[in-house]
Structure 1
Amino acid sequence: MKVIQSLNTFILLVLILFTAYLRYLTDFFDENSAFLDSLLASLVVILFAYIVNSVLGNFILRRVSTARDRYTLRKTVSILITVIAFASFFAIWIERTSTLIIAYGILSAGIAIALQDLLRSIAGGILIITSDPFKAGDRIQVGDNIGDVLDIGNFSTKLMEIKEFGNSDQYTGRIIQLPNSFVLNQPIKNYTRDFSFIWDEIRIMLIYGSNWKKAQDIILKITSPIVKEFEPEQKKNSCGWETNTS
């Protein structure tokens, strides 16, 4: 990979030097000096863009840990550098200012349309960091997706899915990856933040004529030792929540 990068850089340098030689050290192309100037400037832009892309790509490889984020960031950087290079070509080859402004407008509109999902994910990631609607370890629901937050990346959020095959709070073993843009247009239900307990039901079916009082006593006898250890904390949280919201 490094050999190919060095070879490409060498070829671009040779082309730049050859074009500069034709422009400034020979008299064969005096009539086309403007063309050679534009060509030389374009080659310099290509070389600069190639070097910047290589440097930023190597920096991302060293600094970003996950393969998906590395791929996305490198793609984004490559696209942005390409767009800037094309904008520079417009400035080099198009002389009329009005035409250049129109070209920039069309180019900007195309970028906004082509990268709208990516830009929305970036904006969503920034919103998650600044507003902190949830954090790693929280149990959240987004639409029909319920799970525990495993990781909050630059572009997406990973959930460990629960409740897909039934009403129990068991993990299904599947990972849900949501683009961060969901914070812009979907409600987020956080089951963990601010209050540690949520309302849940366990339905026990009894036939007609059953002794429901005896069933109630049996259930309370079984559950009381388990629930008893959570009661003080639940009451404390309830009082604190009522105080904070009053």
Structure 2
Amino acid sequence: MKTGKLKYYIILAAILMLLLIALDFFLQAGGGSMDIYLDRIKEQYLAYLPRIIGAMIVLFVTKIVIDLTCEGLYRFIDRMGGRSLEINRIIRYALWALSMILALSILIEDLSTFVMSVGLIGFGLTFALQTPISCFVAWMMIIINRPYRINDRISVGSRLEGDVVDITMFYTLMREVKAGKSEVTGRLITFPNNVILNEEIVNYTLDVEYVWDEVEVSVTYESDRKLAEQVTYDCAVEVVGEIMKNGAEAMRQISRKRTSAISRGLTRSIADKPQIRVQLADSAFIVAIRYISLARNRRKLRSKIYQKILDRFRETDKIEIAYPHMELIKHDN
């Protein structure tokens, strides 16, 4: 917490304490003198003062321990390549929970009765707090199963896509990317963690920073098909040739680490060169090129490939791009 905010909250707490003391004075003094009121205060509240001081000491010590240890632990886990932020956050929550229990045990003489009362109240509140509880459960699933991590690029359902900025107990913060176009909009989106229980989560960077992408070009049937395929292939190699080699190797390494037969089969099927696909349509044939792209630069690389294809097609009269139009043919009688 920043120093400015800490001073602000201390001042608010002091003002609230003075108001409570003033209210208590008018309610209990009953028109008597200040001496009578102070005597009553000594009788009623001074007995609890050691307990209050003890509870405050526990909370302050917890704060000091967290500030001193968690930062160093975060750096250590981060150097070891572990889940530093998640582990650090869990430790913080656990320490605060233990300190609150200890502080309550100091303040309250009969803690078992208090816990039972809180349990009964909590049972009733469970129905009213279903969403926060489901968000907390989803947060635990995110921490354990890791469907996404901070800095991962994900899409949530068909509506949201972006880079994960933070994962808290109840919500996830994401920097928005225009869905399907990989272009950052600059907006921050907050969605509840329980979304993962109802929506599909697509993670583009969970294992590697690469994904398969595809470019399609419609070519007229009168065009030279083999030349169109070769031009499309050459354009893709010029743009993503090195990227595809690196991406294919990264995908193979990840597949080798997995022990399933499916993963071993995928290792053999990962190509390191662009793949040509041809499909027939009503008024044209479609030349498609499949390639491995950087997950965060899909649209940029796709645009470069399209630009090169258009330039190369214009250099020859043997290839013509198909587009919707009407052609009139006059027959001589």
Normalised by the length of structure 1, the TM-score is 0.57
1:10 matches 2:29: no
Q: In structure 2, do the counterparts of structure 1 residues 224 and 104 end up closer, same or farther at CA, with 3 Å as the change threshold?
A: closer
Q: In structure 2, do the counterparts of structure 1 residues 120 and 203 end up closer, same or farther at CA, with 3 Å as the change threshold?
A: same
Deviations 1:165-223 (A, max 9, x none): xx432234433211122234443221111133222222222233233332222222222
Normalised by the length of structure 2, the TM-score is 0.44
1:131 matches 2:145: yes
Structure of greater Rg: 2
What's the secondary structure of 1:176's corresponding residue?
strand
1:160 matches 2:175: yes
Q: In structure 2, do the counterparts of structure 1 residues 202 and 168 end up closer, same or farther at CA, with 3 Å as the change threshold?
A: farther
Q: In structure 2, do the counterparts of structure 1 residues 134 and 229 end up closer, same or farther at CA, with 3 Å as the change threshold?
A: same
Identical residues among aligned pairs (%): 27
Partner of 2:253: 240
Q: For 1:206 and 1:173, locate their aligned partners in 2 and report how far apart those are by CA, in whole Å.
A: 37
Partner of 1:118: 132
Query: What are the equivalent positions in structure 2 for 1:102-117 lying under 5 Å apart?
Result: 107-117=121-131
Q: How far is the alpha carbon of 1:138 from its aligned partner?
A: 0.9
Deviations 1:120-171 (A, max 9, x none): 223333332333332222111222222221222332112223343xx43223
Partner of 2:239: 226
Q: For 1:104 and 1:149, locate their aligned partners in 2 and report how far apart those are by CA, in whole Å.
A: 36
What's the secondary structure of 2:126's corresponding residue?
helix
Amino acid across the alignment from 2:233: L
Q: For 1:11 and 1:132, locate their aligned partners in 2 and report how far apart those are by CA, in whole Å.
A: 52
Structure with greater strand share of residues: 2
Amino acid across the alignment from 1:191: Y
Q: For 1:19 and 1:114, locate their aligned partners in 2 and report how far apart those are by CA, in whole Å.
A: 43
Partner of 1:141: 155
Query: What are the equivalent positions in structure 2 for 1:194-233 lying under 5 Å apart?
Result: 194-233=207-246
Structure 1, unpaired ranges of 5+: 25-39, 64-79, 92-96
What's the secondary structure of 1:203's corresponding residue?
strand
Q: In structure 2, do the counterparts of structure 1 residues 163 and 200 end up closer, same or farther at CA, with 3 Å as the change threshold?
A: farther
Q: In structure 2, do the counterparts of structure 1 residues 104 and 239 end up closer, same or farther at CA, with 3 Å as the change threshold?
A: closer
What's the secondary structure of 2:215's corresponding residue?
coil
Amino acid across the alignment from 1:240: Q
Q: How far is the alpha carbon of 1:115 from its aligned partner?
A: 2.2
Q: In structure 2, do the counterparts of structure 1 residues 173 and 110 end up closer, same or farther at CA, with 3 Å as the change threshold?
A: same
What's the secondary structure of 2:141's corresponding residue?
helix
Q: For 2:18 and 2:24, locate their aligned partners in 1 and report how far apart those are by CA, in whole Å.
A: 10
Partner of 1:94: none
Q: For 2:227 and 2:37, locate their aligned partners in 1 and report how far apart those are by CA, in whole Å.
A: 98
